[in-house]
Amino acid sequence: MPLDDDYQNLSTTEKIHIACANGSLVELETILNSIQSSELDRHLNHCTYGTTGDLTPLMAASVNGRESIVRFRLEKYGNHIQIDKERIIFAENAFDHSDYFYCNQTALCLATEYKHLDIVRTLVSLGKLNVNHRAILEWQIKCTTLYLACKNEQLEMVKYLIENGADIYNVDINESTALMIACKYKHDELVEYLLSLDDATHTLLNAVDKCGPTALYVAASVGSLNIVRLLLEKYQAKIVKNNEAQTAFTMADISNHIDIVKYFIENENECWYTILRCIDELELIGSLTSK
């Protein structure tokens, strides 16, 4: 830990934040031992403001992958920490901090987003955090930690979250499921794992979002033939039209994924797309592309 004049002139809360972000356990313990018990709550939950938002010391440790710091804080000072405290995001160019919103991001959300499985485990096991809590991301989608783990292709994290109560049927603001997100980012293993947990009526497999697409539609639109085959051949996904009467076939063709279009046509005996239905699809595509 630096001992220059600039560091010595920092406030106690700033020093705590730096120690947590840098993983300086000895320095953190020294600082906390010098604070009166009545002042611990204030220092341990203080937000340090940056250019885009604020972080508590626990959040800083979670973002930077400092598991030993997170564990130390929860084991020794857990009764002083607001573990589910949510951070604030400031609007761009709001230098006076006058324009901000609560984005609902907790330490658990940040640890998930930054792919720190060890910290996720520590926060859940010691902090008893709600794994189904929803937070707002940069692109303004309110989603759960499971959604984040699926997006980032963190299979072991996904398994851990589900084993500890994450609901596979939860949806984001657009009613997209974790399965749809796994399909969108072409995470084959995650798709298979999530489907292995689906109920007997295939609720997850055939769920639709606000615009009507299913997981099959999403997989076809991004060009993932492996996932398309998995959804149809192993799990018998339904062929569903979206709100604009488009199916997985339509999106595969419009998105120029010819291998998927060819697969649908060559497997018409499987009753996914009959010849007549393929003709109807091609006519629809022709009318869409001619506009």
Q: Lowest-pLDDT range, 101-105, 142-146, 159-163, 220-224?
A: 101-105
Question: Stretch 176-198: mean pLDDT, rounded?
Answer: 97
220 has pLDDT over 90: yes
Q: Give the domain range for residue 120.
A: 1-129
CATH number, position 27: 1.25.40.20
Q: Does 123 lie in the same domain as 179?
A: no
* pLDDT tens readout for residues 56-72: 999 999 999 999 999 99
The answer to whether residue 248 sits within a structural domain is yes
* pLDDT tens readout for residues 97-152: 444 455 788 999 999 999 999 999 999 999 988 999 988 875 557 889 999 999 99
70 in Cβ contact with 123 (< 8 Å): yes
Predicted confidence at residue 138, as pLDDT, reads 55
* pLDDT tens readout for residues 200-217: 999 999 999 999 899 999
Q: Does 219 lie in the same domain as 171?
A: yes
Handedness of CA 172, 174, 175, 178 (dihedral sign): negative
Per-residue exposure over 249-271, b if at least 16 CB sit within 10 Å of its own CB, e if not: bbbbbbeebeebbebbeeeeeee
The answer to whether residue 138 sits within a structural domain is no
284 has pLDDT over 70: yes
Predicted confidence at residue 285, as pLDDT, reads 76
Q: Does 191 lie in the same domain as 122?
A: no
CA 38 to chain centre: 37
The domain total for the chain is 2
Predicted confidence at residue 92, as pLDDT, reads 54
Q: Does 115 lie in the same domain as 31?
A: yes
Token pair for 35: 């604070």
Predicted confidence at residue 252, as pLDDT, reads 94
Residue position matching structure tokens 């060009």: 223
Q: Does 110 lie in the same domain as 174?
A: no
Is this model's pTM higher than 0.85 or not? yes
CA 72 to chain centre: 26
The answer to whether residue 141 sits within a structural domain is no
83 in Cβ contact with 58 (< 8 Å): yes
52 has pLDDT over 60: no
The answer to whether residue 155 sits within a structural domain is no
